[in-house]
Amino acid sequence: MRPRTPRTTWLAAAVAGATAVAATALAGTPVAARPVVAAPVAAAVAAPNIALANVKAHLSQFQSIATANGGNRAHGRPGYLASVNYVKAQLDAVGYTTTVQSFTYNGATGYNLIADWPGGDPNAVVMTGAHLDSVTAGPGINDNGSGSAAILEVALTVARTGFAPDRHLRFGWWGAEELGLRGSQYYVNNLPAAERTRIKQYLNFDMVGSPNAGYFVYDGDNSDGVGAGPGPAGSAQIEQTIQAYFTSIGVPTRGTDFDGRSDYGPFISVGIPAGGTFTGAEGIKSSAQASLWGGTAGQAFDPCYHRSCDTTTNINDTALDRNADAIAYTVWTLAQVATPPPGTTVYSDTFETATGWTTNPAGTDTATAGQWERGDPEATSSSGIATQLGTTVSGSYDLVTGRLAGSSAGDYDLDGGVSTIQSPAITLPSTGTLTLSFAWYLAHLNNSSSADYLRVRVVGTGTVTALNVAGAATNRAASWQSASVNISTLRGQTVRIVIDAADASTASLVEAAVDDVRIVQS
């Protein structure tokens, strides 16, 4: 991890860039007021346990390389190139396509190593990275042999298990991070615009075995309400996925800012969602943190940060093991698209073409602006809080309340009352289990109340309410979630899906969207 730089310097370059490229950045609310967010969809193939012994074997190799090359693995030094060659040989042996990308900084040649796992959607890349260089003062085993070794072992486990994800997997090991993120910046700068859009999420792991460890997760939605602000839209999903893993093993986490000290910086500056974990550098562990995680209060998370003592003895095995497993869980989860329920598709609409949905079908709507429409949505935000997403679950179109952005967030939001949109008639089969699934979000500011809502019903002779979410006097950022409900009580009927959204509070800002509606028979 690079040394601290003045926050204002980095914000001008990175956060402003992220705002220009991805105005849909998610910001959250104070922790106490955060809405409940649906847990990530369980991976179709569960993530395997990552063997700690294997990760530590890679660290031993990095230590041996440093010892044989002047005590470090720094940019422009022989120990760094030897480290690249070691990682490359491991990946080549199991079937990765590897590329060594060279660049020049401070008169010396640096190298990035990129490894692609065959298969997966090339237009939907999940990339995982770590910097491979050390400072000149030491071998850099925690900073950042730990992250490099952990993602290497995750990549090798992908191959050993024959994992065949829906999305394309890419791994990167960066050079010259310690000199100002030079390798990752070079990589991002030289990506064609089309290639940048294919990287849907970037996961960064820098210092994941600190001896006096904390358990920090990059604050993708700025839910702590302080610091450098959120990452681009999609960063919150990464944060929530990582948190879900640590929650499953009973380890509390805390947010850490995107403060520009590691290789996520170049990615978020061009609007690529990012996230990851961090166990602490030269910062001092507080008494509260020691009570939360154990360890020694009043001591640095890593007392050997950027020193010659950052060797294989400078590793907390428990923290390294937990983080390696968290990396695998996150990669496996994000790389797999939720599998639709098995069975016969009765009805499906991704809204990429017009299929006959009708607005205000009963002629009773009261909304005066921002009514439901099928459209290509434009991103909106207010005070850093994403109120409408410019991205859909699939394709370019969804059902959305007022698809345009306007000059301010409130220009096209739902106003004045209720807006309704209704599907064409759907004839349901008379046998089997019938399941309705769809993606949705409801976003509002803290001027909302429980009078505002998003509701989805299936209406025939009877009615099944599939979703009924009320507003509240809190900030709720737009974030795609999934819903699934059994509608078998309507078998044999001709039904319509009816979606209502209401802005019934005074002067509240409300936005809603629905995508990928599907009914299956099983």
Pair 372, 420: CB distance under 8 Å: yes
Question: CA 420, CA 393: separation in Å to the nearest integer?
Answer: 21
DSSP three-state, residue 44: coil
**Does the N-terminal peptide bond of residue 204 adopt cis geometry, omega within 30 degrees of 0?**
no
CA distance 347 to 520: 7
Cα-to-chain-centroid distance, residue 339: 19
Number of H helices, E strands in the chain: 11, 22
Q: Which residues touch 427 (CB under 8 Å, ≥6 apart)? A: 494
SS3 (DSSP) at 296: coil
CB burial class (10 A; 0-12, 13-18, 19+) of residue 31?
exposed
Cite the active site residues: 177
**CA–CA distances in Å: residue 410 to residues 166, 425, 443:** 37, 33, 12
Contacts 24+ apart (CB under 8 A), 61-67: 61/86, 62/86, 62/139, 62/140, 62/141, 62/145, 62/148, 62/149, 63/139, 63/141, 63/145, 63/311, 63/312, 66/134, 66/138, 66/139, 66/140, 67/139
* Cβ 217 vs Cβ 275: under 8 Å: yes
User: What sign does the dihedral 73-78-84-85 (CA atoms) show?
Assistant: negative
Residues in contact with 484: Cβ distance below 8 Å, sequence separation at least 6, in sequence order: 341, 435, 436, 437
Question: In angstroms, what is the C-alpha Rg of the chain?
Answer: 24
HEC sequence for 393-422:
CCCCCEEEECCCCCCCCCCCCEECCEEEEE
